[in-house]
Amino acid sequence: MSYTLYGIPNCDTVKKAKKFLDAQGVDYQFVDFKKSAPVASNIKKWAAFYGEIPVNKRGTTFRKIKEGFESSSEAKQIKLMLDNPSSIKRPILEKGTKVLSVGFNDQSWNEIFK
């Protein structure tokens, strides 16, 4: 079963995650949010794993949609994220259909790949 890494190629955190996976010799497919936007079911699955909708609150894209996002229902929040994929927290790592990680952290990823 192969790994899938979701993100945006010019994101520094995604670059760190790719470097980590390459150093571990992990075979993975990279899915660029800008070229292959996720669907609502992806965001719902990632939210179930993460404990909340995986929005990148530190990014410039979120700042543009913050007011609308914070005053919206979950369905509208997901729609805003689909319309603005850079607002999705990244990277997201899956193995098959199982979510392994939302975001990147050396320590937690070392645990995943022990």
Q: Among residues of the chain, what percentage have pLDDT more than 70?
A: 99
**Residues spanned by the domain of 35:** 3-54+88-112
**Active site residue: 11, 53, 65, 102, which one?**
11
Q: Is residue 94 part of a domain?
A: yes
Q: Is residue 99 part of a domain?
A: yes
Q: Is residue 43 part of a domain?
A: yes
Q: Is 11 a catalytic residue?
A: yes
Q: Is residue 77 part of a domain?
A: no
Q: Is 6 helix (H, G, I), strand (E, B) or coil?
A: strand
Task: Note the pLDDT tens digit of each residue in 86-95.
Answer: 999 999 999 9
Task: Note the pLDDT tens digit of each residue in 7-26.
Answer: 999 999 999 999 999 999 99
Q: What is the pTM of this model?
A: 0.93
Q: Can you give the CATH number for the domain in which 103 is found? A: 3.40.30.10
Q: Is residue 62 part of a domain?
A: no
What is each CA distance from 103 to 11, 63, 65, 73, in whole angstroms? 11, 19, 20, 24
Residue 37's pLDDT band, with cuts at 50, 70 and 90, is: confident
Strand 92-95, strand 28-32: pairing: unpaired
Q: Find residue 42's DSSP bridge partners.
A: none
- The Cα 31–Cα 48 span in angstroms is 20
Domains in the chain, number = 1
Q: Among residues of the chain, what percentage have pLDDT more than 90?
A: 91
The reported pLDDT for the residue numbered 1 is: 63
